[in-house]
Copies of this chain bind each other. A is one copy, B any other.
């Protein structure tokens, strides 16, 4: 499959984040950034992205795209479907970049600007082709946070707008189409309001940077990561609903607590106060360390919501399905006399333990996922289970044969050793899929259950038939080495 082509103009923290999101989702990226250290900075962002973004997926990511560093804007943009501009936040600079690149780019390429403050109409001033220039404002780290604000003007092409939303969704992002052109769009207006109040609290010595951060992350920050502002307050209002809450909160609005009508002077003294408080709070960590702590936590928060099928987790699941819909390899379930591929993935950061390798319990996490996939393959899916039948594992025998390290690519193949109307006996082989090295085996005996009575019962005829058809082929295979063994110190 031909990979799609993007161009990224400007490779700072934001530009680098875009580059990472594109290539890890299988796009090729042309980069134009005349800064001498651009390549080093981009490689650093990529290193962070490679260790975190794939940990959000439960399916194989596409093959990584290729980065090409270009000497001219022309080289960078001429074949690109998407051109992302992340140059400094000065309108004249952005205008100059657009003027030059529009000489060479396709007329139906989408030009997204990472601007946090300017409106599309401002960006489009004096453009030869304003219809292709949009605001596509992302949030740091761009490779992990899904929010991207898309803003269009009356001069934008409606078809290109639809295509822009579709491409951003393909990249695993959650595009928010802003309803109007306003300075700073939506999120940065909210941020600015709170930021200003925080500066007053520090200016007046009512709180330090560290105290304000704790006031956020030990309190409402934990709520906002999952529900935002209004859904959180809806809960506070109780069954009486949002109007009831508004009536309660209303009076305070007329008698504002916060210093809304004033702007603190950003004196050298205030800047120095904030900088030194921040050093005291976070100075023990380098920015690199803070980035990785942040990314590990972000992956964790997003995976929690994935497990609960909530908020950003729904988005991740949809992205998995989309990745799976375009399989990198031909579908595996073709029956012949060889074990079935029932799992592909990588060792996730959260699976590493104090010994520096994948914790023993997570060997069973992946073996169990392979068992689930095998159950799906023989027809034990959501519908079957809600109909009252499922298989429970009775016994598990794991042989840990080699260590698995962070990001190591894993594959599990499954052989059906035996089956009858109630039972199935599986043998999984967990290997490093790049080297083929055997890491572990898992032998599992499962029993078919009636979920209502809690007693064993026969599997449906359809499931039995599917098992039999697999067993016809797998009976031709040798009994796997290690199957049927007991544990003991010899």
Contact = CB atoms under 8 A, between A and B. Distances in A.
Interface stretch (A20-28, A101-109, A125-133, A224-232): A224-232
Interface string A223-250: 1111111111011111101110011011
Interface in A145-188: 145-147, 149, 174, 176, 178-180, 182-184, 186-188
Contact of A287 (B194, B234, B297): B234
A190 to B, nearest CB: 5
A261 to B, nearest CB: 5
Nearest to A191: B220
A215 B258 contact: no
B263 A254 contact: yes
Interface of A is mostly: helix
Interface string A346-375: 000010001110011111110110010000
23 contacts: A117-B252, A145-B223, A183-B257, A187-B219, A190-B198, A199-B253, A209-B230, A212-B229, A213-B227, A217-B312, A222-B302, A222-B312, A223-B298, A224-B224, A250-B271, A260-B260, A354-B390, A360-B368, A392-B400, A396-B398, A425-B487, A444-B487, A445-B488
A250 B266 contact: yes
A287 B356 contact: no
Copies of this chain in the oligomer: 2
Contact of A214 (B174, B261, B365, B399): B174
A47 interface: no
A297 B291 contact: no
B393 A395 contact: no
A206 B186 contact: yes
A312 B286 CA distance: 20
Contacts of A484: 486-488
A131 to B, nearest CB: 23
A411 B211 CA distance: 40
Interface string A404-438: 00000000000000101001010000000000000
Interface stretch (A277-285, A317-325, A330-338, A459-467): A277-285
A439 interface: no
Contact of A487 (B179, B298, B443): B443
Contact of A220 (B187, B204, B310, B359): B187
Nearest to A271: B246
A197 interface: yes
A484 to B, nearest CB: 5
Nearest to A249: B195
B190 A194 contact: yes
Give the 4 A-B residue pairs with the shortest CB-CB distance, closest first: A213-B228, A300-B304, A147-B219, A221-B224
